[in-house]
Structure 1
């Protein structure tokens, strides 16, 4: 970068742990401008919802020559105009309230301080040619607190708390962690990985590193090229119940329950919660290629002040969801049987979502801002997940490519093409990029498939394709008596359909979700109804299901409380749908061959 490029300098400090405040100083050089406008992003890349981070800014002031206070006025919800009559250097000082325990924002607790750049670093509006430097002030912090970030160090500085980036989009794409933590490192595929867990819980970090190493190597080798990173940082914020992940250029921020991870001294069994964590890590690291570098044309230089719409999230989240679990079985971290159980769970999730018949995954991608990221109790009746159905589309596309190319190509090859022709040269994908690549590179026409399952609402044709992987798909009602991991309540839902999700209350059960067209919907049950009696008996969730499963009546009287009114309804007794799916391995040899990494 030329030395003539103006540099905007920031200092980030933890102002108050107890009040959850960051203090930021932003120093802007003379720009021959008498009016400057600065703003904070409204959303963070990878999480497609307007979050209005600027609402957490407090005490913002701007200063000019010799510390003179400059006139500063709010332009809109996220922008400030600063009067600078002398066109001199400006210093802006402000504080950010940081108490959002998530991977998307900023959070300060007694254990650590965490932030994304989108939450704390103002930028000059319409600024395209600046360099960004950051100093993180570590004074006045507990000695046990340590700094971790993936941001490149500032050349020429002998301190470990100075960093620099050549663009604002890069600058805000490096989350910052300062606090108590455990960390360890390993190397895979020529990349140095650092794994960090907040707090001091006795996490078995050596085991986690040993399990993450083959996953990371799998992804690097899948793209068959020099990795676009030399180092990578896994930041895991441990909490009581939280869950989430957000991808960055060469790091990820994760949120996970602290006691759902293996602890030092525990046996080596892969409990389901730990498999979920490994899948989450796999998912976010795969994003290093698929969405951080291979990305939709609309997201190459996104406007961070407003929604940026694309129909392509089914490719970026769906394909990534397919590979995150596939990597676990390919690296022997889970068994083939466990893998097909996970696949079956995803098939069941999609089929049990009636919204799949009303919304396509392309529409789901486009509407992520207002529908997918703002779900309510009725969402399953009118939307479909571009993550889960997108993952099934990826599976079907892999099988389709293999079938039509006589097993010469696979989805692995398609990912490499996306990297070489789009990610590596920085060329964004368009709506028909997958279609064009398959036609041009594999001589395969997938237009009907794409029209039906991506832009249409037809189900993914797995029944017709799974034989290519040596599998077969089967249906049943909710569970089998032999399912060891099902609760007693789940085992009761074998014969009769409820059509709603409920939760026990001190008196009766509360309705959390009603499925369109099924028994509860037919009865006129609504979300937040409290059911207090069925067939003349006061009920809880278990008794409610027992009475439904054992009755020979065609309907049962039900007493509910709705907004303070007592109502009598009649609940139809109908046969349970066979919408729970499971897979069988029909041909071990074909299945093993399909699971293997590419040719």
Structure 2
């Protein structure tokens, strides 16, 4: 292909059995003072230093066009190498191990290939803003005879299966288009006069493409109409959902014109396969969340992410806004697009609200601090996380709901959070001007005037930079929705009193978390303990609820457990626990007429 850019990448699934890609980086004009090349340490959207360079098994430099004339390559540190001075055009060849099935790295076997360029492609320091190309070559072997390429990257010259050359505006553009290779079932639809598609891997049975297209079209249309109610046009010319289905797994990562999703196979509607509607709804919520990010995060960004510094942590105190508000809208868009009814929507809001209220960490860490510390706390969760950390997703969504309610009350329902989101889109999305750490202040002032300033400052001080609970039970003053304390069964109440979380391990119940203020903590239980019996009744995963139910009217009970293979016994006093408040939202009788 003629007129290739000065920076060229070639990716080859060289060893599917050993899970290794080979990658060639061609640099036409390296820095004559000694060109530095570097591997990203993290991927945008997933706020944790992942040290992708650790998967590089071999790296060598050659005079361009030669595989025999090696050039010395100096290792500077964990992620960087330097070429000698006046090296001339060079090729850098790397072998990269790839067996991470998440949406944030790279994977290769005889069933499929997937990669984000952050896991495979070295950046050319000082030339990151230059255009670059990506050549994707097919794997060798009969297993790959029907493999095709799915990516939102701009194709320059490809064959019928998508193998060939792609172009990126710069390195940031290159890493914003994940690539999936293999056999797919696809769904196509139009939203906002723009082609959308979903490419699904891992489903053995034929998918229900008609239902997927209908549901996804409705969700995408609703999101487009939120941001562009007049033009009804999205900010891209095409959009791609890449879906990898597995036995157990869940997650998503947003990109400029696409998203990479991981879900269970049974969450996808398929022929002759029973579908659990709640599981499918969860998948649609994931799609809604990542699609919303095409506006909020990928185009509306914090200034701290402009540009991304991929060798170090990029801190912002605004993740409660970017992730929390997206979390608020993901389920709301399902309701607005008529994919779920009001009862289901309120149940989802209630579940999030109660989940936040069950976390003791909400009274220790503010949303602003949770955002700032995401790199070392939220993304590096441990057994004490519920006691020390508040989720900027969960509580951030509650702030969004609360702010929406307060805006509606202040403006007599003439304005809502939607109007704020549209203003933010006009000022910071279309223009790509990053939002400063206090940038929302001026936007809210512009939308609502000085009269709302006191309310906004209180929300910030108490619920974003402070650690108070958001009084949604007071703010939901609607004739359509009822708020009341949640009715709890005796066993639900007992579980809250205990204040422990657990997992099943080989027929044992193993404690994973002990919550501050609970009876389990007061009795001296700890994460890692294996529970054996309560009041002489053996505990197993299948008998857990039955045994608890038999103790529902007790004030205390004897608990036998093992720690480090030594037997211990404690008396658990239930009256010592602090029971967290829980609420229930439900439609009122008036809602039936709306």
TM-score (norm 2): 0.92
**Equivalent position to 1:453, from 463, 468, 471:** 463
Q: Which structure 2 segments of 5+ residues have no match?
A: none
Aligned residues: 576
Matching residue of 2:574: 573
Deviation at 1:168, TM superposition (A): 0.8
Partners of 2:249 and 2:591 lie apart in 1 by: 40
Q: Would the alpha carbon gap of residues 544 and 527 (structure 1) be closer, same or farther in structure 2, given more than 3 Å must change?
A: same
Contact 1:500–1:515, Cα closer than 8 Å, also in 2: yes
Matching residue of 1:211: 215
Q: Would the alpha carbon gap of residues 56 and 318 (structure 1) be closer, same or farther in structure 2, given more than 3 Å must change?
A: same
Contact 1:46–1:247, Cα closer than 8 Å, also in 2: yes
Contact 1:361–1:386, Cα closer than 8 Å, also in 2: yes
Give a deviation string over 1:475-528, Cα, whole Å, max 9, x none: 23544xxxxxxxxxxx73345722112345556532122111110000011111
Deviation at 1:180, TM superposition (A): 1.1
Contact 2:157–2:164, Cα closer than 8 Å, also in 1: no
Contact 1:471–1:591, Cα closer than 8 Å, also in 2: no
| SS at structure 1 position matched to 2:71 | coil
Q: Would the alpha carbon gap of residues 335 and 519 (structure 1) be closer, same or farther in structure 2, given more than 3 Å must change?
A: same
421-430 or 276-285, which deviates more: 421-430
Q: Would the alpha carbon gap of residues 151 and 534 (structure 1) be closer, same or farther in structure 2, given more than 3 Å must change?
A: same
Contact 1:478–1:579, Cα closer than 8 Å, also in 2: no
Give a deviation string over 1:504-561, Cα, whole Å, max 9, x none: 5556532122111110000011111122232234333565555554455532222222
Deviation at 1:172, TM superposition (A): 0.9
Partners of 1:49 and 1:229 lie apart in 2 by: 28
Matching residue of 1:509: 509
Partners of 2:58 and 2:294 lie apart in 1 by: 36
Matching residue of 1:13: 12
Contact 2:129–2:171, Cα closer than 8 Å, also in 1: no
Q: What's the RMSD between the two structures over aligned residues?
A: 2.3
1:582 maps to 2:570? no
Contact 1:399–1:468, Cα closer than 8 Å, also in 2: no
Matching residue of 1:488: none
**Equivalent position to 1:345, from 343, 351, 355:** 351
1:406 maps to 2:409? no
Matching residue of 2:475: 465
Deviation at 1:265, TM superposition (A): 4.6
Contact 1:360–1:454, Cα closer than 8 Å, also in 2: yes
Matching residue of 1:279: 285
Matching residue of 1:359: 365
Matching residue of 1:183: 186
Deviation at 1:138, TM superposition (A): 2.1
Matching residue of 1:122: 122
Contact 2:491–2:548, Cα closer than 8 Å, also in 1: no
Matching residue of 2:175: 172
Contact 1:6–1:129, Cα closer than 8 Å, also in 2: no
1:368 maps to 2:367? no
Contact 2:517–2:578, Cα closer than 8 Å, also in 1: no
Partners of 1:184 and 1:524 lie apart in 2 by: 54
Partners of 1:192 and 1:410 lie apart in 2 by: 30
Contact 2:362–2:390, Cα closer than 8 Å, also in 1: yes
Contact 2:64–2:91, Cα closer than 8 Å, also in 1: no
Partners of 1:114 and 1:157 lie apart in 2 by: 19
Contact 1:149–1:176, Cα closer than 8 Å, also in 2: yes
| SS at structure 2 position matched to 1:422 | helix
Q: Which structure 1 segments of 5+ residues have no match?
A: 480-490, 593-599
Give a deviation string over 1:130-189, Cα, whole Å, max 9, x none: 210111112625221011110012279998621111211111110001101111211110
1:381 maps to 2:387? yes
Q: Would the alpha carbon gap of residues 120 and 66 (structure 1) be closer, same or farther in structure 2, given more than 3 Å must change?
A: closer
Partners of 1:261 and 1:200 lie apart in 2 by: 8
Q: Would the alpha carbon gap of residues 298 and 102 (structure 1) be closer, same or farther in structure 2, given more than 3 Å must change?
A: same
Q: Would the alpha carbon gap of residues 110 and 322 (structure 1) be closer, same or farther in structure 2, given more than 3 Å must change?
A: same
Contact 2:202–2:246, Cα closer than 8 Å, also in 1: no
Matching residue of 2:260: 253
| SS at structure 2 position matched to 1:228 | coil
Once the two structures are superposed, the pairs formed by residues 187-586 of structure 1 within 5 Å of their partners are 187-202=190-205, 203-224=207-228, 225=231, 226-265=233-272, 271-443=277-449, 444-445=452-453, 446-468=456-478, 470-476=480-486, 478-479=488-489, 492-494=491-493, 497-505=497-505, 508-541=508-541, 546-551=546-551, 553-574=554-575, 577=579, 579-586=581-588
| SS at structure 1 position matched to 2:58 | strand
| SS at structure 2 position matched to 1:88 | coil
Partners of 1:153 and 1:131 lie apart in 2 by: 14
Give a deviation string over 1:42-70, Cα, whole Å, max 9, x none: 00000000011111112210001663100
Deviation at 1:111, TM superposition (A): 1.5
Partners of 1:543 and 1:91 lie apart in 2 by: 62
Partners of 1:591 and 1:426 lie apart in 2 by: 42
Deviation at 1:566, TM superposition (A): 2.1
Contact 1:502–1:541, Cα closer than 8 Å, also in 2: no
TM-score (norm 1): 0.91
Contact 1:477–1:495, Cα closer than 8 Å, also in 2: no
Q: Would the alpha carbon gap of residues 46 and 538 (structure 1) be closer, same or farther in structure 2, given more than 3 Å must change?
A: same
